[in-house]
Chains A and B, each alone.
Chain A
């Protein structure tokens, strides 16, 4: 079983739409969670960390559900510039040193 699984999409949404991505993780002891954004042919860039209580940054909201072992990213009022691949990342607390586990990414295209 993969450490982190994401729906690869693609998600094609109109401008102004709300879109949500989910990501499941297998290690129940995992403590650190992140969402990264990767543009075509570029490096991943940190979008936001995911905290236990959930957190919001402008149009972006991240949530953690420990009971079901998933994290989510909600994007409100989608902009054309939000088109990218969104990577879910998990850093388990033990047994793996300081490895980070990446999902394969979810592709988002925002359509005018």
Chain B
């Protein structure tokens, strides 16, 4: 079955530690995204990538880093510089718009990773 797989489901970070969240998709989507959701809040964009080897900062990129070496994979590293990392992290993918082509293509989400501080 095609889909997006995030791992781990739960992650605990010690102070000063970097941790990496995995996101893999087999939907053959070019675009991938990372969001953060705090309790009772909406989704905030951390980073997104429209194509392999390219990515852009979202609204809250500070303290995070990403890579996009393969189409299927878009890992997110939460660095020690992110002082308040406790949140629900969601990875998504989509077919990117190309002018009038592929309009109305939605995002598909993984089932998320919950990150907490030890």
Cβ-defined contact, B111 with A100, below 8 A: no
A73 at the interface (CB under 8 A from B): no
Cβ-defined contact, B50 with A98, below 8 A: yes
The residues of A that contact B90 with a CB separation of less than 8 Å are 43-44
B56 at the interface (CB under 8 A from A): yes
Cβ-defined contact, B97 with A91, below 8 A: yes
Interface of A is mostly: loop
A105 partner, pick from B42, B56, B58, beta carbons under 8 A: B42
Question: In whole angstroms, what is the CA distance A104 to B106 when docked?
Answer: 17
A44 partner, pick from B45, B97, B109, beta carbons under 8 A: B109
Cβ-defined contact, B96 with A31, below 8 A: no
Name which residue of chain B comes closest to A105, CB basis.
B42
A1 at the interface (CB under 8 A from B): no
Cβ-defined contact, A100 with B97, below 8 A: no
Q: A: which residues have CB within 8 A of B?
A: 31-32, 34, 41-46, 49, 51, 87, 89, 91, 93, 97-100, 102-105
A sample of 12 more A-B contacts (CB under 8 A), given A43-B109, A98-B94, is A31-B97, A31-B104, A32-B97, A32-B104, A32-B106, A41-B88, A42-B111, A43-B110, A43-B112, A45-B109, A49-B106, A102-B35
Q: B: which residues have CB within 8 A of A?
A: 31, 33, 35, 41-43, 45, 48, 50, 56, 58, 88, 90, 92, 94, 96-97, 103-112
